[in-house]
Amino acid sequence: MNRFKKYLKLGFPFSLALITYLLTLVFKNNPDLTEKWYSTGIYPQIAYPLSSFSALFPFSLDDTFYVLLTTFFVIGLILVSVKQIRLTSFTIRLLQTIALLYSAFYFLWGFNYFRQPAHLRMQIEKSEPNTENFAEVFKLVAEYTNKAYTSWQDQDTLNFQPILEPSINELQTFLPVEYPGGMRRIKNISFSNFFAKATILGYYGPFFNEAHINKHLSVWDKPVVTAHEMCHQLGITSEAEANFYAWLITTNSENKFANYCGWLYSLGFFIYQSKDIFSKEDLMSMIKPEVINDYRSRHKHWHKLRNKTIDKTASKVNDVYLKSNNVKKGIDDYNGMVQLIIDFYLSEHKEIIF
């Protein structure tokens, strides 16, 4: 009996990881099942208590968790090197830990990678890329950005999480999301300096349902990145969808600065994709000088903080991570927000924003 318990304890993490892997295969091939049973069923029941618990702490539990894991790993290596523990025992413990982390990641949040796409959930028809539609919506986005312009003065100290909550609640039915309630607390990334060098504006911690933002965010990024990471808390895994949802939430907000930042953020993506459509002179004529100044100031802000080597390495790691989790475009998925905005504009739901 004791031997059985020993083997059961030894093999449990690996058995759980195997079950988790098999579930990823099932969910990957059945997005409707994922949506019904996990994303709108099990996940909200997990996320609510997790976010409420993590909100009790002013610091990041996920960051602390990662530091502890790294510390134990280093201590283990030291003990192996001085022959205080056997390499075999250390390797088994390491593999067990990896297996448990793998399983926890998917059960706590990761299965959302296999849910229905945004177009289907929001009942928006997916159109083929079209230059005419792009140009029409681009001009409209530029126009709305110009109209929404407001000064950034006295905005950099605001906590936008409570400001954006009413907008999320209002859009809950359309988005749709099943986790509008609960306690949420936006936290600064513990290692913001390093993350800024990699131009990482925020990240979601799946183990404690925590939304993180970089404390070095430009004043124009803060509302949108806050909304983006909150969307990950709501079970949105696609970066394109999180960007699109963040745009909807901020531009629907009654806070004028959040509204402006949402439009400015989307304008940046449209400008990036308009290189072969509009000339520099065309862009300058469509966008008011104050908006151009803010756009350039935001770019300069990140250019000063960026470390080219760290940024490229982080991008490659993120690309591999996204592609391994059913995001076929990898980091290029972020740019998918533009097509979502175009399809939204072409839909019957455009009156929500336009």
CA distances from 200 to 97, 133, 233, 257, 312 (A): 27, 31, 18, 22, 11
* pLDDT (tens place) for every residue of the chain, 354 residues total: 566 566 666 788 999 999 999 999 999 999 999 999 999 999 999 999 999 999 999 999 999 999 999 999 999 898 888 878 888 888 999 999 999 999 999 999 999 999 998 889 988 888 888 888 888 899 999 999 999 999 887 676 678 888 898 898 888 888 887 765 567 889 999 999 988 988 899 999 999 999 999 999 999 999 999 999 999 999 999 999 999 999 999 999 999 999 999 999 999 999 888 877 777 787 888 899 999 999 999 999 988 988 888 877 877 777 777 677 766 665 565 678 899 999 988 887 777 776
Helix, coil or strand: residue 203: strand
Structure tokens at 207: 């183990």
H helix or E strand, kind and range, residue 188: strand 187-188
Residue type, 237: T
Query: What is the pTM for the complete model shown?
Result: 0.90
